[in-house]
Chains A and B, each alone.
Chain A
Amino acid sequence: MFRMPCQPRKGWQQLANEFGFHFHTMYGEPYWDESAYYQFTLAQIENDIEDPTAELHQMCLAVTEDVVNSEELLTRFRIPEQHWDLVRNSWQERAPSLYSRLDLVYSGKGPAKLLENNADTPTSLYESGFWQWLWLSQNVDAGKLALHADQFNSLQEKLVHRFREIALHYNINQLHMACCKDTVEDRGTVQYLQDCATEAGLLADFVFIEDIGLADTGVFTDLQDAPITDCFKLYPWEFMLREEFGDVLEDAQVNWIEPPWKSIISNKALLPQLWKKFKGHPNLLPAYFSDEINTNTLSGKWIKKPLFSREGANVSIIEGGIENKLSDGPYGEEGYIVQAFEPLPVFEGNHTLIGSWLVDDMPAGISVREDASAITQDLSRYLPHIIL
């Protein structure tokens, strides 16, 4: 695994426009960065990332099974009691999942370590599944990369296939897709999933989360008053379960993608629970609920994060028993976990994080993000990768 500087394609911004990739630059900062790429060997990809990803996912599913069957753990995971049946039923009915992303610390050698599981609302999907694919094929066509250069990225193929399976499972030819207003990145991610669903023969109607309505008959509606029966939502379950319409979720009988059981697998309480069940597994970092141990007596470096935090909010570092806040934020009421600190590898001064994708339970590719900061991922840039 190494970082290779390279020449950006001429006029790629215009190409991005043509393909509707509107968030390659955000808040005046570059996000998509093709001034370099990461190169992996096939063995690194297959042995160190692909196989551990499949295994880690199965381990996460095994923990989910434990949680669903334990009221104590459902409480631990802060699933509101009113929704235990919703979560349990979705698990017992094997409600199909679409995708997830495991964030891994990996330097090119040694075992990759699981930082967290973005199993409910992962983004950076379009730039992974399509845009870096296009980058590779154009650079190969232009003779800038070797003809046999490959990429660990079967995301688009697998997403389309998975939508076909989901359509058969629910007996549908139409579904809704939703995200929040005022976020070009989330909207772009959902548009990509609409494209994949369309490719699979589904009609994909869009509705903003805030615009979802409740009909007199108890079903959710879009802005045209059409019923929402099957819906992909890029919106966290921990919010949905607690908001006003959370009270009527059961009656509305929507087949949600991702399904309610993802509220368990995307929860950071998963990390200590994984460590309990598979203690010492080479791809896991030691992790505990912060109220289970005395953090003052912890030796070494630990990261403390809230169960529901996003984008590195409310994170602290604990070193020699002393806690130092790294970021502020609105989370934390729900409780914290601590996880052994595993430094991200540094390439040319950048801290590099691997996102390893799954479509259902199949490893489907990686994304590489760089950040100036060692822990929080505030201003990360996305870089393409190749296998050679």
Chain B
Amino acid sequence: MTDKRNTLLDVIDSVQGEKPALKRTKHIDLSRMRKGFCVKPLALGVASVILSGCGGEKEDATIYTSLEDCKQDFPDAVERCEAAYQTAVDEAMRTSPRFSSEYDCEHEFGPNQCQYVNNSSGSFFMPFMAGYMVSSLLSPNRYYSQPLYTSYSYNSPFRSRWITADGYVFDGDIRKRKYRVNKDVYKPKPTVNRTMKRGGFGSSVRAKSSWGSSSRKGGWGG
């Protein structure tokens, strides 16, 4: 980090010295700023898939486009393949991008890529799961599996890329099925056996917002 706190005058000099010709951000890639589907406030799997294994090792994650693909890789663990596939399907129903109209869904994911769902959580259109990402399938503790989507729409920045329900876009196009991340270069993550309790932050919000604010803002930003 830059540390300029002790040299007040230096900073002011440097700020007042060279000023760029343009006072605004030069370029923004608009396609990356578009939100084709609504923001999903879910800390969904990708980071945990890639990062939360045992410290210092590499972790492989593989994308399968069918149950058969997985069974071919793991002929001795067919049940695990089936369980991983089912986990992804269930997860897709829970977390997939949702659209109120078929048009909006197809605009993002392409023609005939969306299905109508009408269940206890509402009625909406969602894209078909195009694949699922699996890692540590043979681990005795826990394997990871999550649904992935891709887009066939020319309008979409996700065209021919793998993306997760919360909009994480993987490098490379959909032909790339193996991802391998070297965790050694990053700070190791501490272990968690289980979470003992939640809700230890946020009580002030409940207390302060019970006061009838005339403000229209509900947030705690300022």
Contacts and interface: CB of A to CB of B under 8 A. Distances in A.
Given A130-B33, A227-B52, A330 B11 contact: no
A129 B24 CA distance: 9
A237 B63 CA distance: 41
11 contacts: A62-B8, A154-B25, A211-B199, A216-B192, A224-B44, A225-B192, A225-B195, A226-B51, A243-B204, A313-B213, A329-B211
A167 to B, nearest CB: 9
Given A183-B218, A222-B43, A239-B220, A157 B190 contact: no
Interface in A192-211: 195, 198-199, 203, 205-211
B198 A213 contact: yes
A172 B190 CA distance: 13
Interface residues of B, number: 72
B201 A203 contact: no
Interface residues of A, number: 112
Given A54-B15, A136-B24, A223 B199 contact: no
Interface in B180-197: 185-187, 189-197
B28 to A, nearest CB: 6
Interface stretch (A45-53, A281-289, A292-300, A336-344): A45-53
A136 to B, nearest CB: 7
Interface in A25-62: 26-27, 29, 42, 45-46, 50-51, 54-55, 58-59, 61-62
A373 to B, nearest CB: 10
A199 B25 contact: no
A46 B207 CA distance: 42
In order of increasing CB-CB distance, the 3 nearest A-B pairs are A20-B35, A123-B221, A245-B200
A157 B189 contact: no
Contacts of B189: 226-227, 229
Nearest to A181: B202
Count chain A CB atoms within 10 A of each CB in B2, B12, B219 and give the residue with the most.
B219
Interface in B85-112: none
B220 A121 contact: yes
Contacts of A360: 1-2
Nearest to A156: B25
A173 interface: yes
A71 interface: no
A226 B46 contact: no
B24 A227 contact: no
A92 B202 CA distance: 28
A213 B195 contact: yes
A334 interface: no
Contacts of B20: 154
A51 B15 contact: yes
Given A227-B191, A329-B213, A150 B32 contact: no
Interface of B: 1-5, 8, 11-12, 15-16, 19-20, 22-26, 28, 30, 32-36, 38-39, 41-48, 50-52, 166, 168, 185-187, 189-205, 207-208, 211, 213-222
A152 B194 contact: no
B200 A243 contact: yes
Contacts of B28: 130, 133-134, 156
B186 A172 contact: yes
Interface in A4-25: 18-20
Interface stretch (A104-112, A316-324, A361-369): A361-369
B196 A180 contact: no
A190 to B, nearest CB: 9
B196 A213 contact: yes
A240 B196 CA distance: 19
Contacts of A147: none
Given A172-B187, A329-B211, A224 B221 contact: no
A153 to B, nearest CB: 4
A73 interface: no
Contacts of A19: 33-35
Count chain A CB atoms within 10 A of each CB in B25, B46, B190 and give the residue with the most.
B25
B201 A235 contact: yes
Contacts of A152: 23-24
Given A215-B194, A240-B201, A155 B215 contact: no
Given A189-B219, A227-B192, 10 more contacts: A54-B16, A94-B3, A122-B222, A123-B222, A156-B25, A183-B219, A208-B202, A225-B194, A248-B200, A328-B211
Contact of A217 (B23, B25, B45, B193): B193
Given A18-B34, A209-B202, A226 B47 contact: yes
Contact of A26 (B23, B42, B193, B216): B216
Count chain B CB atoms within 10 A of each CB in A19, A172, A312, A330 and give the residue with the most.
A330
Contact of B214 (A185, A239, A327): A327
A171 to B, nearest CB: 5
Contact of A151 (B4, B24, B200): B24
Given A18-B34, A96-B1, A226-B52, A133 B201 contact: no
B178 to A, nearest CB: 18
Contacts of A169: 1
Contacts of A127: none
